[in-house]
Structure 1
Amino acid sequence: MGPRWKGKGSEAKALVDPMSKIVEQLQSSLIQSETHGLLSGCSVLLEATPEQTDLLNRACFGRPIITAEKDKQWFQLGLEEAFYLCHSLKCLKIEEGDKCPKNNEELWEYMKSKRETFVDFYKAYSHLRKKNWVVRSGSQYGVDFVAYRHHPALVHSEYAVLIISEGDGDVNGRLRVWSDFQCTIRLCGSVAKTLLVLNINKNGHDAVSPLCLEKYDVEERTITRWSPEQCREDQTIGKIGNG
């Protein structure tokens, strides 16, 4: 199942303005302005300049917040998004209240305390983002993430993503029996998405610091519903390509 572009010319627009280029521009802008984010529960609030507002929207990081302040634009970043900008792209500093910016280890502990599944979700999120896929929540489809080849305004999401942790199975308690697979695959088929299972292999390393992420591996498997008209050997189980 390939990309389903929205309207004539969408694919050409994506080729002219690749996601990797947009993210690089956002990274440069945030570094130059020494932008700080503010921890707020299970999210990070970010005050953005007009240029950054445009880049955040185009790069699909966070969601704009409507406020009464006409001269300011705030964005709400999820934990994975915020830590990706801070840890992987090194373009965002994050603080709590009026305190000094937290270092990566402090943020790591904070975010783990807010969500039990943070480590596995972050590894999966960063794995896809580094391949230039746009990653959004997949809760409306009963999965962990959905992955887009480019901006959602140009293309429909291509993959419905489920995350499995080594030794623990599915981190949200699904895919434990075959009927779970059947239901999930049927749902993905009904919304024209391919089920992508990301298996997080920790290789015996505990999540004591962000450095452990370099020791983790991600195994990709796409799972499709078998059709009687096809030979079983024709089933596609493999790795996804770059965005």
Structure 2
Amino acid sequence: MRFPVTYCAYHHFRSKGWVPRDGIRYGGDLVLYRKGPPYYHASYIVIIVSVDAETLQETVFREAKNRTFSWPTMSGQLRLATSVSKEVMLCHVVVPTKYLKSDSCDVSCLNNFQVKETIVSRWISTKEREKELLDIDCDF
């Protein structure tokens, strides 16, 4: 059951003013809109990962299968995000160890979860070279 982790991420983004929606169309868990789908296109594709609070390792929360990313799948996700003008955000939900295997996680336990965000981007060498060329100072 992955609901507590997904809801924790959903609530985190709602409290920051984002409008989260289902992200299955883009290969993620959520997509984030600024004001909502009628006003803007989604800005981020969010991939939710549950993490053990003690070891900070990716973990399986309540018998739910997490995705395990390899570099080729992450590269594909980043290419997809680039082609649809979005950014990929990894949302790490840090779950206290005592809740990982217990069945007693209700709404009150969500206060103990923490959420960390990481934006992942693709490095494109030609763009970096152009940027370096623009940064060169000319003394004429």
User: Normalising by the residue count of structure 1, what TM-score does the alignment of the two structures yield?
Assistant: 0.45
Q: Does residue 124 of structure 2 align to residue 227 of structure 1?
A: yes
- The alignment partner of 2:128 has SS state of coil
1:168 to 45, 59, 63: 59
* Count of residues in Structure 1 that have an aligned counterpart in Structure 2: 116
The structural deviation recorded for 1:132 is: 1.1
5 Å matches for 1:1-243? Answer: 116-166=1-51, 167-168=58-59, 173-206=66-99, 208-228=105-125, 229-230=127-128
The structural deviation recorded for 1:185 is: 0.6
Alpha-carbon distance between aligned partners in 2 of 1:224 and 1:197, rounded to the nearest angstrom: 11
Alpha-carbon distance between aligned partners in 2 of 1:172 and 1:224, rounded to the nearest angstrom: 25
Summarize the Cα distance change of 1:127–1:205 in structure 2 as closer, same or farther, 3 Å threshold.
farther
Deviations 1:72-112 (A, max 9, x none): xxxxxxxxxxxxxxxxxxxxxxxxxxxxxxxxxxxxxxxxx
Alpha-carbon distance between aligned partners in 1 of 2:31 and 2:65, rounded to the nearest angstrom: 16
User: Normalising by the residue count of structure 2, what TM-score does the alignment of the two structures yield?
Assistant: 0.75
Query: Which of the pair has the greater relative contact order for Cα pairs under 8 Å at 6+ separation?
Result: 2
Alpha-carbon distance between aligned partners in 2 of 1:191 and 1:150, rounded to the nearest angstrom: 19
The one-letter amino acid of 1:164's match is V
The structural deviation recorded for 1:200 is: 0.7
Over aligned residue pairs, what C-alpha RMSD do you find? 2.0
Stretches of 4+ aligned residues off by more than 2 angstroms: 169-176
The structural deviation recorded for 1:203 is: 2.7
The structural deviation recorded for 1:175 is: 4.1
Summarize the Cα distance change of 1:225–1:169 in structure 2 as closer, same or farther, 3 Å threshold.
farther
